[in-house]
Amino acid sequence: MLLEKGADPLAGSIGKSGISASLQGIINPFSQAAAHGHRNVLQKLLSQPDTLNSDIMSLEDILAEGAEDSKQQLPKAGLTRSSKARRKALQDALYQSAEHNYLDITMELHNLGVPWTLYSWLKSLETSLIQHRWSIALNLLKEFDAVKDVYSQDMITWGLTLMFDIFRLSKNDAVLRQLAAIFSYCYGPYPIPAIQESDKKIKATVEPIRLNNREQSDIIFLVEGKPFYGHRAQLSAASPRFKKLIAFCPAADVETCSPIQINDIKYSTFQCLVQYIYDGGTERLDISKSQALEVLSASSVFKLNLLTRHCETICARNLTLADSIHTYQHAKVLKANELVSYCNGYFLKNMLPLLEQDSFQQMVQSQTENYQDLLTDLQQALASRMQAVHRPVAKETTIINYLDLFLANR
């Protein structure tokens, strides 16, 4: 009724002194309606024309009037005092609706042009997750590039948790693809940190030893049914696993000692381990991409840490989308942490094409423990990456918005 009589809905928001006045603890009727979910009242308020009380002049208006008297100026486009107050009122109304979980009102206000704050966007995303309203979640995710402070602590802690929870729960392919694009965008255009080879070396044999030489050997291993001749002292000194195996064969004479059975390792892989020990390094090893995971597994069992790191670098250097999930799972089992870390970076940088891989789709559909572990790893890796590239506000540099380009090129 008051509105029909021409009442100004913002009259209570601005006093004659130009200072905002509170209406029962909330600054304006737009916010009151939004906070209590009165959508019809809010729509009525929004339908009222923008008004201006010409009797009230702010300091800004007075100064502007004085400037016009002293110097002729072109008309200046901009907001009137009342439109500025209305804009502020609507911004607070969006905050109140988001805070009180009135998602439809929040989205309606934003569609009218009210910009997101980081808090209102995150709060709305949280509500869409709780209510399982995936279509609204998708619309919010599409607005990600309009949100400021992407690398803030709130986004890293609260925002990433929300987005990865949505990734776990949503079956909507469009939502998953939008999240994948956001994760890759947040990871940034910078290279994945490479795995560094260790500079350390194990002690090589003083006298050259011929590999798998019966005349020089004092112990026999049986690998894939074939004998492999070795040397007790060198192998025991380099590997606690070898030392334990050899301890069960105390005889010094190779002819009187029964061969030590080696299970689950290929002959060529075992030969690679022994050659590494005899050489004291990896320089002469020629480990192929297909062999790297096998040698990685064997070197982990025999506690040959430098060889393990070398195999991790080979696997990382040759990683592809087709074998990335298998490599990651293998590295997790072996606790090859450097390779796991590299795989996480590779996934985050290539999330959209990763979604097209059958191996990843099977993990998504099965919702296995391995899949949950992967998402936990990815969230931690992305949080660390975002913290690494984040700059304090005082030193903030402009970050180019790659998200639209990223999606447009897919």
Q: What is the dihedral sign for C-alpha 235, 237, 243, 249?
A: positive
Which residues share a beta bridge with 226?
Answer: 223
pLDDT at 148: 87
- Nearest Cα to Cα of residue 286 among 272, 273, 300: 272
Does residue 163 belong to any structural domain of this protein?
no
Does residue 84 belong to any structural domain of this protein?
yes
Question: What's the number of domains the chain is made of?
Answer: 1
Q: Which domain holds residue 4?
A: 1-51+79-115
Does residue 87 belong to any structural domain of this protein?
yes
Does residue 347 belong to any structural domain of this protein?
no
Does residue 35 belong to any structural domain of this protein?
yes
pLDDT at 383: 96
**Residue ranges of the chain with per-residue pLDDT less than 50:** 1-8, 13-14, 16-17, 19-24, 26, 52-60, 62-63, 69-81, 206, 392-402
Does residue 72 belong to any structural domain of this protein?
no
In the three-class reduction of DSSP (H, G, I as helix; E, B as strand; rest coil), residue 325 is classed as helix
For residue 219, what is the DSSP state?
E
Does residue 174 belong to any structural domain of this protein?
no
Q: Which residue has the tokens 């693809």?
A: 177
Q: What is the CATH number of the domain that holds 12?
A: 1.25.40
Does residue 205 belong to any structural domain of this protein?
no
pLDDT at 210: 80
Edge-first strand order for the sheet with 260-262 is 226-230, 219-223, 260-262
pLDDT at 199: 73
In the three-class reduction of DSSP (H, G, I as helix; E, B as strand; rest coil), residue 264 is classed as coil
pLDDT at 214: 86
pLDDT at 103: 92
Q: Contact at 8 Å (CB) between 233 and 199?
A: no
pLDDT at 254: 58
